Amino acid sequence: MTRTIKLRYTETAGCIFVDKIAGLNTHSPEYGQRGCVEIYEDELNRKLFTVHRLDKATSGALVFATSSELAAELTKLFEQHLVNKRYLFLTDRSTNLTEFTYESFIEKEKNVFISRKNKEPNSKTTFKWIKSLGPHQLWEANPHTGKPHQIRLHAEANGIPVLGDSEHGGSDYFRLCLHSLSLKFNLKGQDISFETEVPAWARESDLNEHPEDLILAEAFHRRERMYKFSELKEESLRLSHRELDTYRVDQYGEYLWVYWYKESDPTVQDLLRFEKVSKKLNKKILIRKMLNRGEDPNAEILWNIGNTAPRWNAKENGVIYELRSDTGLSPGLFLDQRENRLWVREHAQDRSVLNLFSYTSGFSVVSALAGAREVCTVDVSQNFIDWSKHNFELNGLNPEDEKYEFWVNDCNLFLKGTIRRKRKFGLIICDPPSFGRSKNGVFSISKNFDELMINMMYCLEKNGLLLFCTNYEKWTTGDLHLRLEKLKREFSFKILPAPSQGLDFELPDQEPLMKSIILRKN
């Protein structure tokens, strides 16, 4: 299993250029929260040095140095204003000016950046009108200096505040429409340039009457800039997460799977939107309404676009999975577990692995592919166990091999039996539902958490690892840590950092819908 879903970057003359997404700080704003530089350091497994910054809400071209010596040279270029910086921004205000230069004195006062004309200027920006985009105006800005919020303050001072910049007079919008388009400079006699793709809000073809069209286009464009998903045709990743509250969109190979959260069915306008997406991306689309608990979980797909089939295969980081549209509310692979599956892949070798609430056994498959000594898979559903075995076969694994066990059983009952048999595991994975019913009763994570954790700890060998995940909406990651403190009275363990979520899901400062913790038993 190799990582095929990788963050994009360009390396030139010791410079790492990235196309920063909006909502991401340039560097860590506080302990435990990664910024852009930390994210790319993890991706490249090397130290990077910050030489300039973009505001959190600003997207686009950003450069890092790969050595302290190069960082000093680049910093000098920025300080001496020898870097040509081009920005694009959108405004909903008009002016008779088409090209002008503005200077002012920018300073920070009471944690707010302000621009003054009555002091000697320390900032200078040239503005050039490009074109009208419907009711909006597209401008180019070239900052000759690098003061914080410079373009935003200068645009506001000239009556063309950036759309979405409520801090500096801009109208409300779904994002700040300011983008660092390109960087150019001469480094040791070599001309170096980096230019990003034009954002969705700056392209006339993406500006439609309904705001959801643009938000969805922006969400797709964000994943394209990060991962180049258009080249990952067989892979699986999320294309729209929390950009819209009404639905989520996942790519599973040649299919897009839409989780529909509105109580009402899709309108004609909604379906036309997805038909347009289907043609543009050359994907088949399945839309599944997420029902309230108690409704029929096998309700029909609301809508399909293209010549769809009830079953198909897709990959995630090179591992093959069967997806289904005729079994339950989800197609068979939860993509928010992608980084956790990679972590399991790295830690399962030569271990005895137990996968509880296994669903279709993504964790079991990657454990087996990693060379686990044995893999024990447990789920209350015979249907999911059969599906799991098929996923083994798709990846060249024999589910009948004596190294692999499949149990149709209540997980807590299985754990109690394991305790009686004094069986231990080196790695336990547990991703339970928030709520579930079986012939053995009702499972509730809020009520059964302590019992479940205690049973798992008794089944975990010394120095063994436990990965626990939950989508329970009423808990945060902090709540999980607090609940674990009670267990320390009976067990000795260390809490390790869980893998960070992929950027196709939450940003670092957002509380994730899926919470994960890792324990190592002492």
Bridge partners (DSSP) listed for residue 143: 125
Structural tokens at position 245:
């509250």
Catalytic residue flag (residue 379): no
Q: How far is CA 355 from the centre of its chain?
A: 24
Other CB atoms within a 10 A radius of the CB of residue 346 amount to 12
Structural tokens at position 153:
């303050």
Place of tokens 């996942």: 250
CA-CA distance, 195 to 181, in Å (whole number)?
6
Helix, strand, or coil (residue 429): strand
Q: What is the dihedral of CA 279, 284, 287, 288, to 10 degrees?
A: -170
Instruction: Give how far Cα 486 sits from Cα of 240, 244, 495, Å.
Output: 38, 38, 13
- 460-470/493-496 β-pairing: unpaired
- The answer to whether 341 touches 427, Cβ cutoff 8 Å, is no
Sorted by sequence, the CB contacts under 8 Å of residue 427 that are 6+ apart come out as 344, 347, 348, 351, 352, 353, 354, 367, 372, 464, 465, 466, 467
Structural tokens at position 162:
């950036």
Q: What is the dihedral of CA 156, 161, 164, 166, to 10 degrees?
A: 30
> Which of the residues 19, 42, 55, 431 is marked catalytic?
55
Closest by CA position to 443, among listed 431, 435, 451, 454: 435
Instruction: Give how far Cα 204 sits from Cα of 19, 85, 211, 230, 413, Å.
Output: 21, 23, 14, 21, 59
CA-CA distance, 277 to 257, in Å (whole number)?
12
Whole-angstrom distance between the N-terminal and C-terminal Cα of the chain? 29
Burial of 460 (0-12, 13-18, 19+ CB in 10 A): buried
Ordered alpha helix ranges (H), 31-130: 36-44, 68-79
- The answer to whether 201 touches 90, Cβ cutoff 8 Å, is yes
Active site (catalytic) residues: 55
